[in-house]
Amino acid sequence: MDHIFGRDHYRVIALVARIADLTPEEAGRVTDAWKQTSPADRARAWTGLVRTTTETERYQILAAASLARREALAAAHRMQQMDWAFWAAASDAAAAVAAGPGIGTPYQTLTAPLATVMPSLAGRPAPAQTRAADVAAAARGSARARKSASTP
């Protein structure tokens, strides 16, 4: 069965759900880490990602990146922190997670800024090892988002 976010769709969903839970301080750390990453390294990572994936996989990667960027924009608005580097970091990380662990070094480059506050992104865990934990994290994130949305 194909999923819109590729073979690591549970990890993408967990990442996107967790973005809503970030504090302003965590968003600031992500932003700082993204700005410290070399633009050339990010460009090489994206190039590697494109070279090692099929057209269908690239669609899934871009869908994940787009959703993460939108969630990061919404979170930034709620936190009143509108630095675009935060949105870019979320987008980069979701793209890498959607591509899966097989992309190698680009995974590390693209996930590192968000991994400063989401340690589960560090390294390249096998999907079977993280699937249950990611589903549980997504459920917790959704419950917190619903609770905060209903709080006046």
- What are the residue boundaries of the structural domains of the chain, listed by start? 9-146
Q: How far is CA 129 from CA 44, 109, 124, in A?
A: 28, 22, 10
From the first residue on, what is the mean pLDDT of each consecutive set of 10 residues in the chain (152 residues)?
Answer: 77 94 95 96 94 92 96 94 93 94 85 94 53 47 49 49
pLDDT of residue 3: 79
pTM of the model as a whole:
0.79
How many C-beta atoms surround the C-beta of residue 136 within 10 A? 11
DSSP code string of 24-53: HHHHHHHHHHHHHS-HHHHHHHHHHHHHTS
How many C-beta atoms surround the C-beta of residue 62 within 10 A? 14
pLDDT of residue 29: 96
pLDDT of residue 20: 92
pLDDT of residue 123: 63
Kindly report the three-state secondary structure assignment for every residue of 136-151: HHHHHHHHHHHHHHHC
Q: Are 115 and 121 in contact (CB under 8 A)?
A: yes
What is the Rg, in whole angstroms, of the alpha carbon atoms belonging to the chain?
14
Residue 17, both tokens: 């759900």
Distance CA 52, CA 34 (A): 23
